[in-house]
């Protein structure tokens, strides 16, 4: 019996640089096949090729042994491949039923046959025991329920294969369990699942097989019994790389404390967050998507309100106002660059100036010369290309946009810079430059909080690494040299010998039980 | 209760309250004739509002409706007066002309990619200026002429006191609601407005949907024009000026959100009636015109503010509910 | 920096200049020695001065992706207040001063209300300013008691709209001054910078420590102020207050802005562009009269030119920055984000 | 898809069409007259026949001007109030037509529903208000039109001077220019009845009696002072010598005057109405003259007409043609300005 899906020697390269090098990947009917790999290992590219979003450069896809070509999303759907996207793609104001059947309504003369459709959807819900009703309006559902709707959508297309990309990112423990239940259901029903996740324990618990990608090559395909988190991590990172990218000696700076956060809580988002940042140190915040890192930082910065807890800056309780914090020497580089980072229509110069009018203006009037000078200076200092401070930031490349956003803050005397995913979607060259920038910021006494999902970057830049998990601080690496494995394990709730400090004593190499975290 | 029904209940309630207030504080409000004429007054706005609700539910806007009515009415009056065409034909032409205007709007928006607001603002100028092109002239001077064709005048008439325009309004409202709730197009309209991107992903050609709603609006403007002439028995150059705003107000008061994806024809109908009741009631107090204006304004402002506050509140509540459930499910946290 | 972009700046977007140039050329040929004369230019400027003044302030909400449709009503009310005050207080210069200030204050107050409502309740500005029109016109009616209130004196008041300075009508001077002021505010002050920034990306500005709400409120105040000022000028020009004054001016203003290339999605547009827009419309109407086209056909020609301008702008913007499909006007409310 | 929706709506429309077809459908006036006569409201009918007691019975009169806010409407209302104020049993209400046919029709309908005893109407559009006027008359409510009448037989019209005004001004201009000269017209909003009539009268006379007077140009000032100012400016730039200007109302004449003054040209400027502001302009020599109508008197006349109709119970039913009261067209220039005494000014 042929595999349900077989991808042979898939190749893909973006402007010259190969992303997938002859990748092989296969899924048996009714198996849950985990796909793992570091950011940039090529997972998403592979999936995009499978779902017809990217054309492949080489290789062949077989479906039930038959060679098939997937040019469009439609092709994938017609084959029976369903995808549950990370950012859910539902219509909030429509009902579950309408969403599930959207674009494929059963209708006569344009009139939809609600009864029939409802039967169908209700039937599916029945069958899989989902906790939604066909006539509920989606916007009134919880995230988990919405996800089940997405799954319904896939199932309603008689999908034989459902791709889930970080499905538990924003789910609570119980909700995740429910999802796993559903996945079991699917498996029993002969539906195959490609499960993409960084969460080792989930993979460990769910998957029948596991394919590890690294730098665009199939590193290993493991059968259930072979799946041991530690090994998987090692495979994902690779021995030599793991050594090469190991951190410098982590250390807790003895410089005075600059930021002190105590028992910060926000209902349903994070709780009991406590940490200190010293003068001139770079502290990395690691964690998986949905661990609550970004939310914490936004609250500290004053962008969002929090429920309880204390934030002290240089000994004084911190205002909850952005403007005051900026005056105190805060800087904030948000995760969502395009929507929160800059004003695309405005020139670099004016974007940079936006945070500097306290010095660039007198009596409400802009000192145009000084403004221009600063713009030019920052463009030079950060080597923003093209080197013209008059160009709208919207027209720059990702890397240069990020530099422009940084320029906003670097132009000020910063005491604390919070930077969220500093290098997301940025090419290697620009990455290095940004790291350099951060490093010599620290040397000049600025404290830097760096939230990142890029382990290499965390290890390379940070002096300490705090690992968050499910809205809590899971552990902190404050000494010794650690490798990506240590961090990756911790992110998934597994403590290795690397972990120091007040971290809970999870048994090394095994999966920490749900909620076994420091409460 | 579903948010939708909740919203409906509220708009109906506000209408009832308003009516009661007028009923008890002024005389002759709750008389058959008065009710009937309120239903007549709201009808033309209402008919157009049906189309505009579609547009607004797709997160668009149409500022050209008043001008379309003006243009189409003038066209018909001209045909009736100068060419004495049979009423039936003229009605057909007027519906056709209205539809064409809609097609044009849709084209500018979806094909020329001009944002709805600017697009329909511009076409408003166009249609408004066409009014003067088609105006009836005597010795080169525009003169509004009385239309005497009984066939068209009958459209302003009534059956046992119930005006045809009212009947049509309700008929069309029902059809509109059916389209919105029971047809693919309806679902697509909501989808387009609430989340264009994923609507596109689901294989819906949202541009066609947006085009369709403009066409429907134009079509309805055509119908409305017939009744305009039918009622006033002539067409003036400034006919329908500012109508578009009344319509939009009615639609919004009826619970369609500018952000798209929300609202329905039921609400819109209520909104249209609300406006008519307000107008009618205020006149009953023999207040100075200034006071009338101010009261009308204040009530509308209040309704709008309430609407947005309500929507925000619902959003928040849903959000909370969701996160709380997540928490509850989260158990140990 | 080379000078070219600066020239562009002063003239607004190039394609707009070409339209204007073309129109003016045609008219000069059609009416040699009549159209292109100082006197005629003066009368064109005079004809646009009143809403030209409005534009100078109404551009602020527009740059924020908002709008103010109440300008006509505000103008009427402000004019009414000023005139009634002057009449009630014996036509003294003092009364003029107080009346004018009072009128301006009234406008500012209305703007304030708009700003607060827009920021507090995230109501579409389009709707709220539309609804308040009723109220403000109502106020105008209260003030004028639905009658025409003549106000021929004192000279100081008559001068505002009727006087001449260096042979140029004073209302034109006011327009120029207002234009310069708002050019300076938009181009040279922090507030101006913030207006553009907030219009382009409000959230980014918030995170950069810009007080977005304040910026928005101030913008509506500015709009109210200029509306009031233009109302006062109009009253002085006509030597009277009348409740239905400046009706439909909101439409003129919007036209000027749209033709002038303001994006209505916020972040784009310039006062120069807006004034050029107003001027273009003025030129066309003037030209139509000079050529002797019957009044009832003016609309057609005007609208053709407006359409041309709008289409060109949309085209340019499309080429520049890809599709902008969403409705410019009504910023989507925060959806419970998945 | 779309087409289907269309057809659906079509069906809806058709259904109504049917309804319309299958008899039973009555136009407003039919329905109204039926209501007034015979069924239900016999009482009003009989009253309509015999009329009411002008002193004792409760009487409601409504005044619906084209638009509220200009001096004419105010003066009319004043005149009516001053007359009706003497009747303790009369309630009098003023409405705003908002210069919109729709609005006026709406308000008409409402006054009919509330059984007003008489309606004074200034019709925004003669044709556009014929229907609701018929309806009112049919319901036994006398409609007296003020200045602008409705294009149908109704109880009475107190005619403002428009055609005559045009003629008079033409005469004066003709004489003063000695039958030779150049004239421009600043006209009303295209399609406005009053403006057309003035134009008609003016042009007739010029054509017949002063063929050598040339009408150079005619542009609309849309009733507005500021627009008239603009238009006049353009005329002045275009034409070297203009001898006289006809403006369809005083407001525009004032605007034109300002323009002429600014260009310091000596031009005859004529308006129509005779509002007090215009009289000041004439006094100051900025304008040449206007055709004065005593709007307060006119208002009073309307009111008297109403009371007469109410008392006598006369409505259109009893009439074959609309009785017309004409206001005296008084041409006012600097010479006879004094004749218009303070209390006559409005």
For residues D254 and D306, state if they share a domain: no
Q: Which residue has the tokens 């849903």?
A: B318
Count of alpha carbons within 13 Å of B307, Cβ hemisphere only? Answer: 30
d(CA C263, CA C260): 9
Are the Cβ atoms of B315 and C137 closer than 8 angstroms?
Answer: no
CA distance D141 to D111: 9
Q: How far is A149 from chain D (nearest CA, A)?
A: 28
Other CB atoms closer than 10 Å to residue C124's CB: what's the count? Answer: 23
**Residues in chain A within 8 Å Cβ distance of B315:** 139
Query: Exposed (0-12), middle (13-18) or buried (19+): which is A504, by Cβ within 10 Å?
Result: middle
Q: Which residues of C58-80 are buried (b: 16+ CB within 10 A; e: fewer)?
A: bbbbbbbbbbbbbbbbbbbbbbb
D2 at A interface, C-beta within 8 A: no
Cα–Cα distance, A332 to A408 (Å, whole number): 9
Rounded to whole angstroms, the Cα distance separating D14 from A441 reads 76
**A391: nearest Cα among A367, A410, A407, A409:** A407
Reported as a single tens digit per residue, the pLDDT across A221-243 is 888 888 887 788 878 877 666 77
Q: Could you tell me the CA-to-CA distances from C9 to C5, C13, C315 in Å, in that order?
A: 6, 7, 20
- Which chain B residues are within 8 Å of A112, Cβ to Cβ? 182-184, 187
Its ipTM equals 0.86
pLDDT digits (tens, 9 = 90+) for D196-245: 889 989 999 999 999 989 999 999 998 899 999 999 999 998 898 899 99
Degrees to nearest 5, angle at CA C249 with C63 and B280? 110
pLDDT at C151: 86
Give chain D's domain count.
Answer: 2
Q: Is the pLDDT of residue C336 over 60?
A: no
Q: Which region, left, alpha or beta, applies to residue C145 given φ > 0 means left and ψ of -120 to 50 means alpha?
A: left
pLDDT category at C323 given cuts 50, 70, 90 is: very low
Local structure of C58: helix, strand or coil: helix
According to DSSP, residue A248 is labeled -
Higher pLDDT, D240 or A74: D240
Inter-chain contact C150–D277, Cβ cutoff 8 Å? yes
Asked if residue A508 has pLDDT above 50, the reply is no
Using CB atoms, which residue from D95, D113, D131 is nearest to B28?
A: D113
Residue D50, pLDDT above cutoff 70:
no
Helix H or strand E segment including C235: helix C212-238
Q: Which residues of chain D have a CB within 8 Å of the CB of A109?
A: 4
Owner of token pair 């009073």:
D300
- The torsion angles phi and psi of A314, rounded to 5 degrees, stand at 50, 45
Reading the block at residue A363, the tokens are 């009596």
Choose the mutation target among D73, D195, D229, D237 for the interface with C, i.e. most C CBs under 10 Å: D237
CA distances from A40 to A220, A244, A293, A435, C119 (A): 17, 17, 21, 18, 42
- Weakly modelled stretches of chain B, pLDDT under 70: 1-3, 322-333
- Token representation of residue A466: 């705090």
Spell out the alpha helix ranges (H) of B233-288: 243-253, 265-284
What is the structure's pLDDT at C330? 37
On whether both D233 and D311 belong to a single domain, the answer is no
- Which of A55-59, A369-373, C109-113 tops mean pLDDT? C109-113
Q: How many CA atoms lie within 13 A of B42 on its CB side?
A: 27
Please indicate whether, in this complex, the C-beta atoms of C148 and D71 are within 8 angstroms of each other: yes
In chain B, where are the structural domains located?
3-286, 291-333
Three-class DSSP category at C266: coil
pLDDT of residue D279: 92
Q: Is A491 helix (H, G, I), strand (E, B) or coil?
A: helix
What is the C-alpha to C-alpha distance for residues A23 and D129, in angstroms, rounded to an integer? 81
Give me the domain span that covers residue D207: 163-292
Q: Does domain A5-243 have CATH number 3.40.50.10810?
A: no
Q: Quick check: A365 and C200 CB within 8 A?
A: no
As a whole number of angstroms, the longest Cα–Cα distance in chain B is 88
The residue written with tokens 């800059």 in the block is A342
Q: Which carries the bigger pLDDT value, residue A510 or residue D287?
A: D287
The DSSP 8-state label assigned to residue B110 in this structure reads I
Q: In CATH, which of 3.30.530.20, 3.40.50.1820, 3.40.50.300, 3.40.50.1010 is domain A244-329+413-519?
A: 3.40.50.300
Q: Is residue D2 part of a domain?
A: no
Closest by Cα among A444, A445, A411 to A326 = A411
B162 vs B173: CA distance, rounded Å: 16
Compute the average pLDDT of residues D263-286.
90
- State the distance between the two ends of chain B, measured CA to CA, in whole angstroms: 29
H or E element that contains B139: none
CA distance B143 to chain D (A): 5
| Percentage of the residues of chain D whose pLDDT score is greater than 90 | 41
- Overall residue count recorded for chain C in this entry: 338
Q: Which chains touch C (3 or more CB pairs under 8 A)?
A: A, B, D
Highest mean pLDDT of the ranges A452-456, C218-222, C293-297 = C218-222
Can you tell me whether residue C148 is helix, strand or coil?
coil
Q: Do D96 and B233 touch (CB under 8 A)?
A: no
Residue A105 at interface with chain B, using a CB cutoff of 8 Å: yes
Is D147 within 8 Å of D158 (Cβ atoms)? Answer: yes
How much is the pLDDT for D205?
92
- CB pair distance less than 8 Å for C243 and D68: yes
Nearest CA in chain B to D129: B232
Buried b (16+ CB within 10 A) or exposed e, A68-98: eebeeeeebbebbbbbbbbebbbbbbbbbbb
Indicate yes or no: CB of A109 within 8 angstroms of CB of D5.
no
Contact B99/D at CB under 8 A? yes
Helix H or strand E encompassing A115: helix A114-128
In D16-45, the residues whose Cβ lies within 8 Å of chain B are: 16-17, 19-20, 24-28, 30-31
Position B322 scores a pLDDT of: 66
The answer to whether residue D59 is domain-embedded is yes
Chain B residue with minimal CA distance to A111?
Answer: B183
Q: Which residue has the higher pLDDT, D9 or A60?
A: A60
Residue of B nearest to D23 (CA): B159
What's the whole-number mean pLDDT along residues C153-161? 87
Name which of D106, D114, D130 is nearest B233 (Cβ-Cβ). Answer: D130
Stated pTM of the model: 0.88
In whole angstroms, how far apart are CA A331 and each of A97, A241, A277, A455, C207?
A: 46, 33, 14, 23, 9
Residues of D whose CB is below 8 A from A108: none
Whole-number Å distance between alpha carbons of D103 and D101: 6
Q: Could you give the CA distance from residue B42 to residue D106 in angstroms, rounded to a whole number?
A: 10
Residue B75 near residue B132, CB atoms below 8 Å:
no
CA–CA separation, D316 and D307 (whole Å): 15
- pLDDT score, position B167: 94
Distance of CA D238 to the CA centre of its chain: 33
pLDDT at C60: 95
SS3 of chain D: the string is CHHHHHHHHHHHHHHHHHHHHCCCEECHHHHHHHHHCCCCCHHHHHHHHHCCCCCCCCEEEEEECCCCCCHHHHHHHHHHHHHHCCCCCEEEEECCCCCCHHHHHHHHHHHHHCCCCEEEECCCCCCCCHHHHHHHHHCCCCEEEECCCCCCCCCEEEECCCHHHHHHHHHHHHHHCCCCEEEEEEECCCCCHHHHHHHHHHHHHHHHHCCCEEEEEEEECCCCHHHHHHHHHHHHHHCCCCCEEEECCHHHHHHHHHHHHHCCCCCEEEEEECCHHHHHHHHCCCCCEEEECCHHHHHHHHHHHHHHHHHHCCCHHHCCCCCEEECCCEEEECCCHHHCCHHHCC
Q: Which chain C residues are within 8 Å of D231, Cβ to Cβ?
A: 289
> 């720059």: which residue's tokens?
A396
Residues of A with CB under 8 A from a CB of C: 87-88, 90, 92, 139, 143, 146, 170, 301, 303, 322-323, 325-326, 332, 334, 339-346, 350-351, 353-355, 357, 361, 364-366, 368, 390, 394, 408
- Rounded distance between C-alpha atoms, residue A377 and residue A356, angstroms: 14
Please check whether residue D215 lies inside any domain of the structure. Answer: yes
> pLDDT tens digit string along A284-319?
999 887 788 899 999 999 888 899 999 988 888 888
Per-residue pLDDT at D256 exceeds 80: yes
Partners of D25 in beta bridges: B159
User: Is the domain defined by C4-317 classed in CATH 2.60.40?
Assistant: no
**Band (A165; pLDDT cuts 50, 70, 90):** confident
Averaged pLDDT for residues A231-257: 78
**CB–CB of C121/B308 below 8 Å?**
yes
Q: What's the whole-number mean pLDDT along residues D22-34?
A: 73
Report the pLDDT value the prediction gives residue D41, as an integer from 0 to 100: 40
Are D95 and D124 in contact by the 8 Å Cβ rule? The answer is no
CATH 1.10.3470 fits B3-286, yes or no: yes
For the segment C116-126, the average pLDDT, to the nearest whole number, is 89
Please report residues of C whose CB lies closer than 8 A to that of A323.
209, 211
Long-range contacts of B122-126 (CB under 8 A, 24+ apart): B122/C258, B122/C303, B122/C306, B122/C307, B122/C310, B123/B64, B123/B67, B124/B63, B124/B64, B124/B66, B124/B67, B124/B244, B125/B67, B125/C255, B125/C299, B125/C302, B125/C303, B125/C306, B125/C307, B126/B67, B126/C303, B126/C307
Domain-located, residue D283: yes
Verify whether the Cβ–Cβ distance C190 to A368 is below 8 Å: no
Nearest CA to A95 out of B278, B187, D277 is that of B187
Subunits in contact with chain B (3 or more CB pairs closer than 8 Å) = A, C, D
Give which of D342, D346, D232, D251 is closest to D294, Cα–Cα: D346
- Are C296 and B135 a contacting pair, CB within 8 Å? yes
What CA–CA distance (Å, rounded) separates D99 from C247? Answer: 12
D8 close contact with B: CB closer than 8 A: yes
3-state secondary structure (DSSP) of residue A296: helix
Dig out the tokens for A429 from the structure: 């060259």
Mutate to test the interface with D, among C244, C279, C287 (most CBs of D within 10 A): C244
């Amino acid at each position: 019996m042929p595999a349900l899906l077989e991808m042979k020697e898939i190749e893909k390269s973006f402007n010259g640089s190969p992303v997938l090098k002859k990748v092989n990947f296969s899924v048996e009917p009714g198996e849950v096949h985990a796909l793992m790999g570091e950011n940039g290992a090529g997972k998403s590219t592979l999936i995009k090729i499978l779902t017809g979003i990217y054309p492949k450069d080489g290789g062949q896809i077989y479906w039930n042994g038959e060679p098939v070509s997937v040019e469009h999303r439609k092709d994938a759907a017609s084959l029976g491949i369903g995808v549950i996207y990370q950012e859910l793609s539902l219509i909030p104001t429509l009902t579950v039923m309408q969403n599930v059947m959207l674009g494929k309504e059963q209708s006569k003369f344009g009139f939809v046959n609600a009864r029939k459709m409802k039967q169908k959807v209700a039937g599916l819900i029945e069958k899989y025991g989902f906790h939604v009703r066909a006539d509920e309006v989606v916007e009134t559902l919880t995230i988990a329920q919405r996800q089940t709707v997405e799954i319904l959508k896939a199932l309603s297309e008689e999908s034989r294969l459902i791709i889930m990309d970080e499905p538990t990112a924003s789910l609570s423990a119980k909700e995740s369990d429910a999802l796993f239940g559903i996945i079991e259901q699917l498996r029993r029903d002969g539906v195959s699942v490609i499960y993409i996740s960084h969460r080792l324990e989930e993979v460990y618990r769910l998957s029948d097989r596991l394919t590890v990608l690294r730098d665009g090559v199939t590193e290993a395909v493991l059968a259930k019994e072979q799946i041991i988190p530690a090994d998987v991590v090692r495979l994902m990172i690779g021995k030599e790389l793991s050594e090469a990218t190991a951190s410098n000696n982590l250390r807790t700076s003895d410089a005075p404390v600059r930021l002190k956060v105590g028992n910060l809580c926000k209902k349903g988002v994070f709780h009991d967050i406590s940490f200190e940042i010293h003068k001139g140190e770079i502290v990395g915040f690691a964690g998986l998507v949905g661990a609550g890192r970004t939310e914490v930082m936004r609250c500290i910065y004053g962008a969002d309100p929090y429920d309880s807890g204390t934030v002290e800056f240089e000994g004084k309780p911190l205002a909850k106002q952005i403007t005051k914090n900026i005056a105190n020497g805060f800087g904030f580089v948000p995760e969502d660059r395009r929507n929160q980072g800059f004003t695309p229509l405005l020139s670099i110069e004016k974007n940079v100036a936006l945070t500097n009018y306290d010095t660039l203006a007198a009596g409400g009037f802009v000192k145009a010369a000084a403004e221009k000078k600063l713009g030019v200076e920052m463009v030079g200092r950060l080597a923003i290309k093209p080197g013209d401070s008059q160009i709208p930031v919207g027209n720059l490349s990702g890397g240069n946009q990020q530099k422009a956003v940084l320029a906003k803050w670097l132009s000020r005397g910063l005491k604390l810079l919070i930077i969220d995913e500093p290098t997301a979607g940025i090419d290697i060259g620009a990455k290095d430059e940004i790291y350099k920038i951060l490093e010599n910021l620290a040397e000049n006494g600025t404290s830097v909080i760096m939230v990142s999902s890029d382990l290499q970057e965390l290890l390379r830049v940070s002096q300490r690494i705090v690992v968050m998990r499910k809205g809590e601080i899971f552990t902190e690496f404050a000494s010794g040299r650690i490798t990506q494995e240590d961090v990756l394990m911790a992110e998934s709730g597994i403590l290795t010998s690397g972990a120091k400090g007040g971290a809970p004593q999870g048994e090394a190499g095994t999966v920490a039980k749900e909620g076994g975290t420091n409460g | 209760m579903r948010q939708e029904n909740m919203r409906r209940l509220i708009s109906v309630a506000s209408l009832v309250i308003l009516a009661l207030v007028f009923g008890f504080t002024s005389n002759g409000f709750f008389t058959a004739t008065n009710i009937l004429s309120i239903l007549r007054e709201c009808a033309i706005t209402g008919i157009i509002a049906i189309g505009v609700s579609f547009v607004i539910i797709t997160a668009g806007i149409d500022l050209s409706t008043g001008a379309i009515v003006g243009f189409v009415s003038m066209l018909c009056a001209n045909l009736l007066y100068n060419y004495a065409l049979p009423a039936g034909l003229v009605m057909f032409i007027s519906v056709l002309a209205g539809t064409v205007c809609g097609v044009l709007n849709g084209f500018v928006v979806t094909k020329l990619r001009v944002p709805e607001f600017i697009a329909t603002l511009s076409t408003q100028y166009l249609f408004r200026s066409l009014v003067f092109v088609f105006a009836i002239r005597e010795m080169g001077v525009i003169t509004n002429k009385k239309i005497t064709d009984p066939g068209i005048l009958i459209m302003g008439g009534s059956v046992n006191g119930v005006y045809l325009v009212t009947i049509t309004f309700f008929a069309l409202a029902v059809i509109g609601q059916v389209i919105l709730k029971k047809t693919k197009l309806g679902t697509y309209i909501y989808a387009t407005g609430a989340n264009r991107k994923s609507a596109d992903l689901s294989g819906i050609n949202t541009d066609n949907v947006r085009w369709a709603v403009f066409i429907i609006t134009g079509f309805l403007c055509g119908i409305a024009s017939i009744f305009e002439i039918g009622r006033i028995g002539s067409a003036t150059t400034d006919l329908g000026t500012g109508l578009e705003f009344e319509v939009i107000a009615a639609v919004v008061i009826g619970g369609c959100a500018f952000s798209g994806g929300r609202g329905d024809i039921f609400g819109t109908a209520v909104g249209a009636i609300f406006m008519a009741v307000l107008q009618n009631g205020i006149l009953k107090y023999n207040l100075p015109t200034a006071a009338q204006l101010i009261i009308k304004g204040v009530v509308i402002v209040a309704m709008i503010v309430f609407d947005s506050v309500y929507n925000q509140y619902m959003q928040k509540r849903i959000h909370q509910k969701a996160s709380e459930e997540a928490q509850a499910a989260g158990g140990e946290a | 920096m080379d000078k070219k972009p600066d020239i562009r700046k002063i003239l607004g977007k190039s394609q707009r200049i070409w339209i204007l140039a073309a129109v003016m050329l045609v008219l000069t040929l059609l009416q040699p020695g009549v159209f292109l004369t100082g006197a005629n230019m003066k009368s064109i400027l005079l004809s646009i001065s009143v809403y030209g003044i409005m534009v100078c302030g109404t551009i602020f909400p527009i740059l924020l992706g908002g709008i103010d449709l109440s300008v006509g009503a505000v103008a009427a009310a402000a004019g009414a207040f000023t005139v009634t005050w002057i009449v009630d207080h014996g036509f003294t210069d003092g009364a003029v001063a107080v009346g004018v200030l009072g009128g301006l204050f009234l406008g500012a107050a209305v703007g304030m209300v708009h700003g607060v409502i827009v920021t507090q309740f995230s109501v579409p500005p389009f709707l709220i300013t539309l609804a308040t029109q009723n109220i403000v016109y109502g106020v105008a009616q209260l003030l004028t008691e639905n009658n025409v209130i003549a106000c021929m004196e004192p000279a100081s008041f008559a001068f505002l709209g009727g006087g001449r300075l260096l042979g140029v009508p004073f209302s034109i001077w006011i327009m120029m001054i207002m234009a310069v002021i708002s050019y300076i505010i938009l181009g040279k002050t922090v507030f101006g910078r913030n207006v553009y920034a907030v219009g382009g990306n409000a959230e980014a500005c918030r995170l950069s420590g810009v007080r977005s709400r304040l910026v928005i409120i101030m913008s509506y105040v500015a709009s109210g102020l200029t509306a009031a000022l233009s109302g006062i000028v109009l009253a002085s020009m006509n030597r009277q207050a009348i409740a239905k004054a400046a009706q439909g001016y909101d439409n003129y203003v919007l036209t000027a802005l749209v033709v002038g290339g303001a994006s209505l999605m916020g972040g784009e547009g310039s006062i120069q562009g807006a004034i050029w827009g107003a001027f273009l419309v003025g030129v066309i109407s003037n030209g139509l009269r000079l050529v002797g086209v019957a009044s009832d056909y003016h609309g057609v020609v005007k609208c053709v030119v407006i359409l041309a301008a709008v289409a060109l702008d949309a085209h340019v913007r499309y080429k520049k920055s890809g599709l902008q499909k969403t409705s410019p006007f009504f910023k989507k409310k925060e959806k419970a984000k998945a | 898809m779309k087409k289907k929706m269309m057809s659906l709506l079509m069906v809806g429309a058709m259904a109504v069409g049917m309804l319309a077809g299958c008899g039973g459908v009555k136009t407003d006036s039919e329905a109204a007259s039926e209501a007034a006569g015979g069924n239900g409201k016999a009482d009003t009918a009989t009253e309509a026949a015999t009329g009411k007691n002008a002193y004792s019975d409760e009487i409601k009169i409504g005044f619906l001007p084209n638009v509220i806010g200009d001096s004419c409407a105010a003066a009319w209302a004043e005149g009516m109030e001053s007359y009706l104020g003497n009747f303790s049993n009369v309630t009098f209400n003023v409405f705003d037509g908002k210069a919109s046919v729709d609005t006026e029709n709406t308000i008409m309908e409402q006054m009919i529903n509330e059984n007003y005893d008489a309606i004074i109407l200034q019709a925004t559009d003669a044709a556009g208000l014929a229907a609701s006027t018929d309806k009112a008359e049919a319901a036994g409510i006398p409609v007296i039109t003020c200045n602008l009448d409705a294009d149908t037989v109704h109880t009475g019209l107190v005619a403002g001077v428009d055609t005559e005004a045009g003629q008079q001004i033409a005469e004066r201009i003709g004489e003063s220019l000695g039958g030779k000269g150049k004239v421009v017209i600043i006209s009303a909003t295209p399609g406005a009845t009053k403006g057309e009539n003035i134009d008609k009268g003016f042009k007739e006379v010029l054509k017949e009696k002063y063929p050598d007077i040339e009408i150079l140009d005619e542009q609309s000032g849309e009733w507005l002072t500021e627009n008239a100012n603009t238009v006049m400016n353009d005329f002045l730039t275009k034409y070297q010598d203009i001898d006289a200007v006809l403006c369809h109302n005083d407001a525009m004449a004032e605007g034109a005057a300002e323009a002429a003054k600014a260009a310091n040209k000596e031009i005859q400027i004529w308006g129509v109405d005779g509002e007090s502001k215009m009289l000041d302009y004439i006094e100051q020599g900025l304008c040449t003259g206007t055709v004065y109508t005593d709007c307060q008197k006119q208002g009073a006349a309307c009111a008297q007409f109403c009371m007469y109709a109410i008392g006598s119970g006369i409505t259109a039913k009893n009439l074959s043609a609309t009785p017309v009261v004409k206001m005296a067209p008084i041409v006012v220039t600097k010479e006879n300005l004094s004749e218009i005494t303070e209390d006559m000014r409005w």
